[in-house]
Structure 1
Amino acid sequence: MSTKHRNDTDNYILSPETEPFLEKLFFNNRLLFLLIFLGLTIFLTYSAVNIKPDARLEKLIPLKHPYIMNMMENRDSLENLGNSIRISVENPNGNIFTAEYMETLRQITDELFYIPGVDRSGMKSIWTPNVRWVEVTEEGFQGGPVIPPTYDGSQESLEQLRQNILRSGTVGSLVANNFESAIIQAPLFEKNPETGEQLNYQEFSHQLEERIRAKFEGQNVKVHIVGFAKKIGDLMDGIKDIGVFALIAIAITFVLLVLYARCFKGAIIPVICSVIAVFWQLGILNLLGFGLDPYSVLVPFLVFAIGISHGVQIINAIAIESAEGKDKLSAARLAFRDLYVPGMLALMSDGIGFLTLLLIQIDVIQELAITASIGVAVIIFTNLVLLPILMSYVGISKSGVSYLQRSANSEPKVAKALSYFAHPTVAPISILIGIALAGFGFFYGQDLKIGDLDKGAPELHPDSRYNLDNAFITDNYSTSADVMVIMVKTPTEKCSAYQTMDAIDRFQWKMENVNGVQGTASLVTVSKIVSTGMNEGNLKWRSLSRNQQILNSSIQRAPAGLLNADCSLAPVILFLSDHKAETLEHVTAAAEDFAENYNIDGELEFLLAAGSAGIDAATNQVIEAAQDRMLVFVYAVVSILCFITFRSVRAVLCIITPLGITSVLCEALMVYKGIGVKVETLPVIALGVGIGVDYGIYIYTRLETYIRDGLGLQAAYLETLKTTGKAVAFTGVTLAIGVVTWVWSSIKFQSNMGFLLTFMFLWNMVGALWLLPALARFLIRPDQIIAKERLRQQRQIADD
């Protein structure tokens, strides 16, 4: 409120009859609530330090998507096609046919065998007995293990090894195309079969680094490791960077708060309360049984940012009251009275907006929604209640009050210039610019893609160790790490029937001609190879036999994973060139088209899709379906809450329109930066809207207050800029500076989130300060606001 308004009504404002219930409750029992807050902080901090990482595979995939339901239903039959790692051992000084290299490869295979979490029965390397060679001779098939029991490292045995590898069909899969490296492949247990404990990916990744890479890379070999567990382990290691960036952000925020308030107490209290909010949030999460995954670990900083945003508003209000001569307690009470309604509205908008992420049926996003909402809920207590109670004891220092008084008495040149955004001549220009920006963002954002746009692990930088390892394996082997598995389901003992095999053969032919498919493998592949071998290697026999007995004979020794125990499931493995969104769209569309034409209920079904690429495809479809719906719900919830508070559609338009333009521009920026909509980027827009709405609510609340005092729109906006507007500008810049440090994170998705959040923090601030008053010039009618205020006062006087 204006100084004049305050001075004229001091007795009324501070009278017990006008104190709201919550103000009486908290400030008349300050010591009691401080003790309660202290007890809760100690208890929840103890709980917070015991929170554990949680990056289970099931959390990162859409379990209710048909693809994933099919995969989980047939998981036991998809042997060696689930979570696994691949270790490529390279000889940088030549090929693999040396005694020293082969001995090192044997030692690495043995070492991996004993690492907890490895499914030893499914391990494959040229040193394991389940990797065999087969050849056709005059006497029929002959074969044996690739490395025979007679191997002794001599030149003769190495030459025999070369022949065995060439006859084994492992070139391009377990042996590099240039024979300079070999792979050890190991499926993993999701849970320890003895203890039932979940596999700790970070610990498993450390075991690989310590017992494989660090131990053996000094023995004239280079080790390259890829797989879901290794990727998640590297991401979890990157969490330490998040802690460093959080400390940097806290330090930057504190310094800027000191410069802003010229008061140490006014700077340290909001930081302390916001940090307390983070510990409360983590403690509650631990009590509810949640852990931290690589995505939700970023949320505590957002909670800190939201807490600072509201804390600055309260400190600013207390400073204004103190500059007008109020004592510490009165200043805190009046600040609480002025701000708890808009603060509650803003935080409720944040929390419910975050809860709209529950619409996305992926556990990691749903847990992120719950995590963020809990954080917002605790801010209501730590920053809207605890902060003013603490300030009622410590107060604003004399230096802070003097600085504010000098600022109030000086000519606010910047605020005066910005107030022209509400001028009748400037406002139309601002709105035209806003429309142009919205149009540009909408047009450019049409090219926004769903899913990954880069090769390798998009969560990590291209030059990360993991992506360099992945690039090496992709460049030197024929079998891609991006695998999609189509499950062909039949009645028991019918997977090898000619009708089934013929349909699979047609399916493979179709898929091999789809752009993005490198190759395929199935029972049909094995059958054709065996049929050719049984007929002296004549390629004319490389086809399916219509004789069922010959078919059955040709798949007797099919590798594990190409059919299940009762021959009711025959997976078809598609090796893809990459897992980019466009590739997955082409492949799944072609597979679904084939399934629609060939599926026969109860007899033959082509079910999509397992494998890493199948999971990615399902995730992309869930995100694409939920993206627009989530945004609609976010804006609908925020709009409804604003309408309930301000009882004006015009007010809602003033607050929401700048947010909408920011969201559209954010999507355009994602296109420009080559960032797709994925698990880690989809929540950013909702989070940006949730935090950005705070600016608009505080600005509009203060603007309406000054209009009710009888000021014209531009004059009211000038007063708003000198108080709340100043705090909003400071908050936006401070939060942007804090989060922009994420751009230098070793984790790419954190870097992307930092970039996008910086943009949204700044543009939401700009929208609130620039476009909101321009919209108010055309949408808000000061005479009606004044009339309503007079009517309210008359009714209150009559009631008294």
Structure 2
Amino acid sequence: MKKLLGIGFWEFIARIILRSRIVILGCIILITVLLAFQWKNIRFTQTEANLIPADDKVNVDYNKFLNHFGEEGNLIVIATKDKKLFTPKVYQAWSELMTEIKSHKQVTLVVSVDNLQKLIKNDSLETFELKPLVDESKVQNEQYLKEIQTELFTKLPFYEGLLYNKKTGAIRSAIYLDKKIVNTKARKDYVLNDLIPAIEKFKKATNIDLHTSGMPYIRTLNAKTIIDEIGLFIGAALLITSLIFFYFFRSFRATMISLIVVIIGVMWSFGIMGALGYEITVLTALVPTLVIVIGIPNCIFFINKYHQEYHKHANKAKALQRVITKTGTATLMTNITTAVGFATFIATNNVLLREFGVVTTINILAIYTLSLLLIPIFFSYIPPPISRHLGHLERESLTSFLQWIIRTVKYNRLGVYITSICLLVFGIIGIGKIKVSGSIIEDMPKNTAFYDDIRFFEKEFDGVMPLEIMIDTKKKNGAMKLTNLRRMEDLEQTIIDIPELSKPLSIVNIAKSFNQAYYNGNPDFYTLPSPNEEMFLLPYIKNSIKKSKDNQLKSYISSDGSVARITTFIKDENGERMEAIEAHIRNKVNKIFPEPRYEVIITGKPSVFQKGTKYLLDNLLSSLLFAFFLTGGLVAIMFRSFKMVLVSIIPNLLPLLMTAGLMGFLGIPLKPSTLLVFGIAFGMSVDDTLRFLAQYRLELSRNDWKIKKSVFATFDDAGISMFYTSIVLFFGFSVFMLSSFGGTVALGGLVALTLSFGMLSNLVLLPSLVLTLNKTLANQQELPEPTIDILEHTDEEIDELEKNNK
């Protein structure tokens, strides 16, 4: 009975490929055209990455908050510290800027010095009225503007921390976008096409430097940078991998077909994302470049085998057929193990990671199929390779490197094990030093103006990342009761005492401003009213709310008055402190808002992001164990040997531990981008392991089951391909270090580093383990026939099959 995917199967596949070249090329062209039509469905995500499952309590609480108060990330802020703002010319330009911003339908509210309102008591109507702070007829008087500045800083404490910093003199405007467009393309269009040009116009007219930030602004410019870098990555990856490829093979033909294969693969990757309806996220944006980086090693393996076969017998047709027949299963299995590394993300209960896992897995198998089909067909149409093209098979620098490895394995295995143990200890110690980052902006481009602006607002206004506290009193108008307002004030004092947080905003501030207005604007009365004062104030407040269609209360209290909101801002650099900060706030909440009388939710984008990082970290170990299990299962199916399973896992586990240890010693934190390194690197590193073991199994049968001879003979064939592919992967992933995003740089650098460790581990530790664990091997029966025929078949086996088929 023939084994699954055995020699007969691949001999059949080889005949189909070489005899149906026109049909296959036509099918590839048709698929490419059909997928190209799907490009129109490609969209870029307009929301942040949410790494937590939809049914997790963190997301349930966040969505509960959104249901009451809508999208909280709709604030854009513009600020300056320039003292010339309160001069007639600059103030006029500032006022015109704010008027232009407010004129756009995407903006619902602009709060700025030029349109600021203050509460005035109207005793005759028992109501509060809003009066403009600035008299427009006097704004050409510089002295008057200075008086306005003084009044703002001394008599309107409500706006401290929101519109001004009393200590430094910084002034800012708050721009609230329509919550309906915050997560849509309309937000991007407004920021890029309307807001930024208006700001640049103001800068040019006044020569004053403005700082702009806020979640909608940050997200828009961050997304634009990601889109711009997709082309950079694809171009750089094609250039670097093609140059390395040409250096190895010295053949324009081989380089050209490899570029054709990966370019078609990139076209397919965009088409597949469009067909699946997936948005381009910070993760899926990497897929086209990954297709190039993974596709080139496939091309190297097939072309290197073709050159080896032609070098043996100088028969082009025979060489092309045997490239497929000899290596079909081995290359398929190595691509499957690479796909397994990415497929582990499918097992996570997270849409973002699951989509990344699905699209990369499909594209890895697609690029393998393209390599398998196009490379033999291409070489069948062109002249056979010349001696210059085959020179890489005996290149002295390469053979010297492999000879050094062979000598190390042959004479110094004890040194290999001691070094491996030392590196293992190094990794374990380093892992203990790793920190977890909960920063939203840590991976954002550091060399951009909008990143500098984020730091400006963190310094002047204690951040732009909102932390939200929602208090459900479970009673109609319960949030307006003085007892609950005092509880909230007590909680706000706890927030103020936390240095990482800004001054909070809530219904408490509005109640204090009503009390101040009742006492004719005296800032000494910016306090919560006493029970007696409340009785006098209540008619004023009720009448004011009835008259106002757009009162400030609705941003901080639900329509039925039962739920209140407290908003504070956290400096992003304190993301790692988020858990401790929330615990401190929660401890206070439990004392003053006891359950079940109250329900208090602490949420907001920084909180969700930090908890998402923790969720991803908690799932890292299970994902890696899943990858180990799948890989071990594949090896067990292929070799039916527990020793081979053990041998395949150890050399790939050590590089992961070394990389993790290095991250600890270098202070590189665990975050979403660096957590992905381990699954990706493991899946790709296992390729070399399977290639080596497959060749070793073949060499045993060729060399009368002599272990040492078989191991060292394995280097003559598998060693070259392993070295070539590892070099390409190293430089291919290094392309991501061109990114301006810290996370992408870390991902590329760490994967490249891990794969380098993996190559050395598979070329040194793996054969050493094979020699040690198989010392007792005496005959073929101790290494059972594989269930899946991954082995490269001998010329004699293929000749016999061809003879029988005639």
Aligned to 2:372: 384
Contact kept? 1:104, 1:219, Cα under 8 Å? yes
Pair 1:41 & 2:41 matched:
no
Q: Partners in 1 of 2:762 and 2:463 — Cα distance?
A: 49
Question: SS at 1:213's partner residue?
Answer: helix
Amino acid at match of 1:147: V
Aligned to 2:43: 52
In structure 2, relative to structure 1, the CA distance for the partners of 1:274 and 1:422 (3 Å cut) is same
In structure 2, relative to structure 1, the CA distance for the partners of 1:217 and 1:79 (3 Å cut) is farther
Query: Deviation string for 1:497-537 (max 9, x for gaps)?
Result: 35533443443344444463343333334445655775796
Q: Partners in 1 of 2:224 and 2:328 — Cα distance?
A: 40
Aligned to 1:74: 65
Pair 1:155 & 2:142 matched:
yes
Q: Of residues 561, 565, 571 in structure 1, which corresponds to 2:565?
A: 571
**Percent of residue pairs bearing the same amino acid type:** 18
Give the deviation of 1:672 after TM superposition.
3.7
Pair 1:695 & 2:688 matched:
yes
Give the deviation of 1:600 after TM superposition.
5.4
Question: SS at 2:114's partner residue?
Answer: coil
Q: Of residues 205, 221, 227 in structure 1, which corresponds to 2:192?
A: 205
Give the deviation of 1:78 after TM superposition.
2.4
Amino acid at match of 2:429: F
Contact kept? 1:258, 1:267, Cα under 8 Å? yes
Pair 1:745 & 2:732 matched:
no
Q: Of residues 586, 594, 598 in structure 1, which corresponds to 2:580?
A: 586
Q: Partners in 1 of 2:621 and 2:541 — Cα distance?
A: 48
Give the deviation of 1:355 after TM superposition.
2.5
Aligned to 1:146: 133
Question: SS at 2:313's partner residue?
Answer: coil
Q: Partners in 2 of 1:791 and 1:104 — Cα distance?
A: 82
Aligned to 1:338: 326
Give the deviation of 1:322 after TM superposition.
0.7
Q: Partners in 2 of 1:264 and 1:782 — Cα distance?
A: 48
Give the deviation of 1:436 after TM superposition.
1.5
Question: SS at 2:669's partner residue?
Answer: coil
Question: SS at 2:601's partner residue?
Answer: strand
Q: How does 1:357-756 map to 2 (within 5 A)?
A: 357-394=345-382, 396-400=384-388, 402-403=390-391, 412-423=399-410, 425-452=411-438, 457-477=441-461, 479-491=462-474, 492-514=476-498, 516-528=500-512, 530-531=514-515, 542=527, 545=530, 549=535, 559-595=553-589, 603-610=597-604, 612-710=605-703, 712-756=706-750
Q: How does 1:149-188 map to 2 (within 5 A)?
A: 149-166=136-153, 167-169=155-157, 170-177=159-166, 181-188=170-177
Q: Partners in 1 of 2:199 and 2:92 — Cα distance?
A: 14
Amino acid at match of 1:222: D
Amino acid at match of 1:441: G
Q: How does 1:234-253 map to 2 (within 5 A)?
A: 234-238=221-225, 239-253=227-241
Contact kept? 1:598, 1:605, Cα under 8 Å? no
In structure 2, relative to structure 1, the CA distance for the partners of 1:154 and 1:413 (3 Å cut) is closer
Q: Partners in 2 of 1:707 and 1:656 — Cα distance?
A: 21
Aligned to 2:777: 783
When the two structures are aligned, how many residues end up with a matched partner?
771
Give the deviation of 1:293 after TM superposition.
2.3
Q: Partners in 2 of 1:432 and 1:769 — Cα distance?
A: 16
Give the deviation of 1:320 after TM superposition.
0.7
Q: Partners in 1 of 2:343 and 2:359 — Cα distance?
A: 9
Taking only aligned residues, the RMSD between alpha carbons, in angstroms, comes to 3.7
In structure 2, relative to structure 1, the CA distance for the partners of 1:37 and 1:200 (3 Å cut) is farther
In structure 2, relative to structure 1, the CA distance for the partners of 1:49 and 1:309 (3 Å cut) is farther
Amino acid at match of 1:640: G
Question: SS at 1:109's partner residue?
Answer: helix
Contact kept? 1:313, 1:724, Cα under 8 Å? no
Give the deviation of 1:252 after TM superposition.
2.2
Give the deviation of 1:326 after TM superposition.
4.9
Amino acid at match of 1:299: V
Pair 1:760 & 2:754 matched:
yes
Amino acid at match of 1:56: T
In structure 2, relative to structure 1, the CA distance for the partners of 1:178 and 1:437 (3 Å cut) is same
Amino acid at match of 1:291: E
Query: Deviation string for 1:548-575 (max 9, x for gaps)?
Result: 7578679767644221221121112233
Question: SS at 1:768's partner residue?
Answer: helix
Q: Partners in 2 of 1:420 and 1:135 — Cα distance?
A: 92
Consecutive unaligned residues of structure 2, counting only runs of 5 or more, are: 1-5, 546-551, 787-792
In structure 2, relative to structure 1, the CA distance for the partners of 1:764 and 1:271 (3 Å cut) is farther
Q: Partners in 2 of 1:76 and 1:670 — Cα distance?
A: 40
Q: Partners in 2 of 1:745 and 1:471 — Cα distance?
A: 21
Contact kept? 2:341, 2:684, Cα under 8 Å? no
In structure 2, relative to structure 1, the CA distance for the partners of 1:750 and 1:469 (3 Å cut) is same
Q: Partners in 2 of 1:741 and 1:524 — Cα distance?
A: 52
Give the deviation of 1:391 after TM superposition.
3.0
Q: How does 1:261-280 map to 2 (within 5 A)?
A: 261-280=249-268
Indicate the larger mover: 757-766 or 738-747.
738-747
Give the deviation of 1:609 after TM superposition.
0.9
Amino acid at match of 1:487: M
Question: SS at 1:783's partner residue?
Answer: coil
Q: Partners in 2 of 1:284 and 1:30 — Cα distance?
A: 24
Q: Partners in 1 of 2:762 and 2:393 — Cα distance?
A: 26
Contact kept? 1:515, 1:583, Cα under 8 Å? no
In structure 2, relative to structure 1, the CA distance for the partners of 1:51 and 1:73 (3 Å cut) is same
Amino acid at match of 1:698: R
Consecutive unaligned residues of structure 1, counting only runs of 5 or more, are: 1-14
Query: Deviation string for 1:366-405 (max 9, x for gaps)?
Result: 3222221222121231123333333343365113565257
Contact kept? 2:639, 2:784, Cα under 8 Å? no
Question: SS at 1:681's partner residue?
Answer: helix
Q: Partners in 2 of 1:551 and 1:632 — Cα distance?
A: 64
Amino acid at match of 2:747: M
Question: SS at 2:174's partner residue?
Answer: strand
Query: Deviation string for 1:343-380 (max 9, x for gaps)?
Result: 22222222233122234444333322222122212123
Q: Partners in 2 of 1:382 and 1:190 — Cα distance?
A: 46
Indicate the larger mover: 151-160 or 623-632.
151-160
Q: Partners in 2 of 1:192 and 1:141 — Cα distance?
A: 33
Give the deviation of 1:140 after TM superposition.
11
Contact kept? 2:339, 2:364, Cα under 8 Å? yes
